[in-house]
Structure 1
Amino acid sequence: MRRLWIAALAGLAFAAHAETPSEYPTRPIRFVLISAAGSGGDALGRLLADKMAPLIKGVFVMDNKPGASGAIATDFVAKAPADGYTIGIGGATTHVLLPASNPKLSYDSVKDFAPIGQVGTASILLIATNDFPANNAKELIALAKKSPGSVQYASWGIASTGHFCGELFNLRTQAQMSHIPYRSVVQIQTDMLGGHVKLAYVDMASGSPMVKSGKVKAITACTSRSPSLPDVSSYDDEGIDFAGKRMGALRWALYAPAATPKPIVGKLSAALKQVLEMPDVKTRLLDLGITAAFVGGDELRTMTAADIEGWKQIAKAANISNE
């Protein structure tokens, strides 16, 4: 009996000191990144963490979990305790394209997350080494048609946004390029600078600085022209599209596990919205190839579900499967 009383008193003491949403956060928050350290996605996550931390009076601990086109990190967030102490960054690949190409994915990108908000939109950039024999989309199409299958392009994984952009290019131009999946954009960058891969899709945050520094050249942007590289033509400019497409650009967004208390999600969402209104953040995001565009959680969830259905068309037509 005495042990039962001790257990009961301990439970009451824990409840008395349990954290309330208004006190959140009282310990560091794990911020899970889908990209390797040094990538554009990594830079984006760290920028948001640095700016959001003082607004919520908290501390973020960055946790890079690259691989499987972002599925490793995203699955980790989905299965984390829904207490507000694990959040993740993701977007088009993790929450739209992987679900569109894998019905057996280990997480449900709509049901397993509480969206904190959209960060912004960004095109995917097709870059090439400076000695690559094509300088734009039209020249690339001609080169690929001349020797079907001989032109290879890299992306950061099967069913990644880069992979989808490459296969959309093939479908609409009959270019017949072949895909080389990498584990991360950082590995692509290393191999490209070493001359081991000549053509690759990378996120705009990683590719834009490489183009501006003259290390590589830009071929085209998928799907829309980017304000970061306004002189680089896009798929939209070249008429490379698919029926029913609703995404003019591809997004970055923050997510918490489903069932995370709404007041906590709301606090994080309000901080994100405030950060995206800061002039210096907008400028830095443009440097990373991202146009700041906050969208709240409920609307983002609806958009995600609709986007998945739209991109399933490309997955089926191009036989993209990540099962």
Structure 2
Amino acid sequence: MTFFRTSLFNRRTLLVAGLALSTASAWAQAYPSKPIKLIVPYAAGGATDITARTLGEKLATRLGQPVLVDNRGGAGGVTGTDQAFKSPADGYTFLVSLGTTMLINQYLYEKLPYNPQKDQALITQIALAPVVLLVHPQLPVNTAPELLQYIERNKGKLAYGSWGMGSYAHLAGAWLSDNLKADMNHAAYKGEAPMLQDLVGGQIQLTFASLQSARPYIESGRLKVLAVTGTQRMPALPKVPTMTEQGIKDEVFRVTGWVGMSAPAKTPADVLTRVATEVRAIIAQPDVRERIQQMGFIPVGSTPEEFAVQFKKDAPVWERLVKLSGAKLD
């Protein structure tokens, strides 16, 4: 009798498990059955938005469903990111954002409404987002090492700009000032446009900026570019060496921002795998890679596992930089 009950229990267990697997498989095969939303936590027209729309157009064709880009700007990207992570984990809402909201903000904000470690499922690192080191053209320097020497000779006399507290430009500038004991002033702006205008006008002497924003000033000669961050040159600026190539190997200049894609935590694994595979295939297409490169990004297209490894590697670097800068946001 015991054997019979055990056998009956096993058969029932296997039947239920088999039914569950069959249902999950059928659901995965039917996915997607309605439009998909990509939330971009910034205003339309920026590099992240353009990247999301490029991917969305291709993804719609591959998945057979419309892919809508929903711009949810506000609070430096926090508002849209929070909305994305708190959306239903059904595979129909995804986030396309910068590492700032997906990783760095947890060290900047006293009260962040979401937890990047728990509330998102990483899908793919779309592209690296290095920035350029810029100076006013009248500064008598032409390389990054020359700039560092100039800063040391002019302690307390220089100012660096950033597009906001806690931005890469702020963190890197604070690191330079602290490491060189240069006592540089930090000028925080509401965006890159006013920051670059003041650099052109000579109100500040140096900054880091995205290539997309800085390109017109570089091409017109109104600003001088000395280097790029990261470990590889930008395809859009092949003649400009990295900081590392110029002998400045500190981790603050080796790490870069990035554009990534994630989903609300607990999104079905089958969906994550499917979307990751499709997006990586899209990023591998020559026309997509070229468009990403034109914005100053470096295409990646990692697997979820590779993205998780990079995420974990970058986290302590950003945490140290934020602590050194003293930046804290409400």
TM-score for the superposition, normalised by structure 1: 0.79
2:270 aligned residue (263, 270, 274): 263
Question: Conserved in 2, the CA contact under 8 Å of 1:39 and 1:186?
Answer: no
Secondary structure in structure 2 of the residue aligned to 1:88: strand
Greater alpha carbon shift after TM alignment, 290-299 vs 25-34: 25-34
Separation in 2 of the partners of 1:64 and 1:214? Answer: 34
Amino acid at match of 1:231: K
Count of residues paired in the alignment: 305
2:118 is equivalent to residue 108 of structure 1: no
Aligned to 1:95: 102
Aligned to 1:181: 188
Aligned to 2:214: 207
How far does residue 112 in structure 1 lie from its aligned partner after superposition?
Answer: 0.8
Amino acid at match of 1:232: V
Aligned to 2:237: 229
2:93 is equivalent to residue 86 of structure 1: yes
Aligned to 1:11: none
2:285 is equivalent to residue 278 of structure 1: yes
Aligned to 1:157: 164
How far does residue 259 in structure 1 lie from its aligned partner after superposition?
Answer: 1.4
Separation in 1 of the partners of 2:206 and 2:32? Answer: 44
Amino acid at match of 1:49: G
Secondary structure in structure 2 of the residue aligned to 1:229: coil
Change (3 A) 1:40 1:192: farther
Separation in 1 of the partners of 2:186 and 2:82? Answer: 25
Amino acid at match of 2:235: P
Aligned to 1:300: 307
Separation in 2 of the partners of 1:127 and 1:221? Answer: 9
Greater alpha carbon shift after TM alignment, 233-242 vs 301-310: 233-242
Secondary structure in structure 2 of the residue aligned to 1:22: helix
Greater alpha carbon shift after TM alignment, 101-110 vs 258-267: 101-110
Separation in 1 of the partners of 2:81 and 2:240? Answer: 31
2:243 is equivalent to residue 240 of structure 1: no
Q: What is the percentage of aligned positions where both structures have the same residue? A: 28
Per-residue deviation, residues 128-158 of structure 1 (Å, max 9, x unmatched): 4555665443443344445445433333322
Change (3 A) 1:55 1:149: farther
2:224 is equivalent to residue 217 of structure 1: yes
Per-residue deviation, residues 274-323 of structure 1 (Å, max 9, x unmatched): 11111111222221222222212233224313321232222223323335
Question: Conserved in 1, the CA contact under 8 Å of 2:133 and 2:207?
Answer: yes
Question: Conserved in 1, the CA contact under 8 Å of 2:134 and 2:223?
Answer: yes
Change (3 A) 1:234 1:24: same
Secondary structure in structure 1 of the residue aligned to 2:58: helix
TM-score for the superposition, normalised by structure 2: 0.77
Structure 2 gaps, min length 5: 1-25
Separation in 2 of the partners of 1:261 and 1:26? Answer: 15
Question: Conserved in 1, the CA contact under 8 Å of 2:120 and 2:262?
Answer: yes
Structure 1 gaps, min length 5: 1-18
**Alpha-carbon RMSD:** 3.3
Separation in 2 of the partners of 1:67 and 1:181? Answer: 18
Separation in 2 of the partners of 1:151 and 1:118? Answer: 36
Amino acid at match of 2:240: V
How far does residue 198 in structure 1 lie from its aligned partner after superposition?
Answer: 6.0
Secondary structure in structure 1 of the residue aligned to 2:291: helix
How far does residue 253 in structure 1 lie from its aligned partner after superposition?
Answer: 1.0
Secondary structure in structure 2 of the residue aligned to 1:294: coil
Per-residue deviation, residues 193-248 of structure 1 (Å, max 9, x unmatched): 788766432234443465346564323222333232132233213443446x7965
Per-residue deviation, residues 239-270 of structure 1 (Å, max 9, x unmatched): 43446x79654322111111122222222211
Secondary structure in structure 1 of the residue aligned to 2:132: strand
Change (3 A) 1:175 1:231: farther
Separation in 1 of the partners of 2:308 and 2:228? Answer: 26
Question: Conserved in 2, the CA contact under 8 Å of 1:30 and 1:85?
Answer: yes
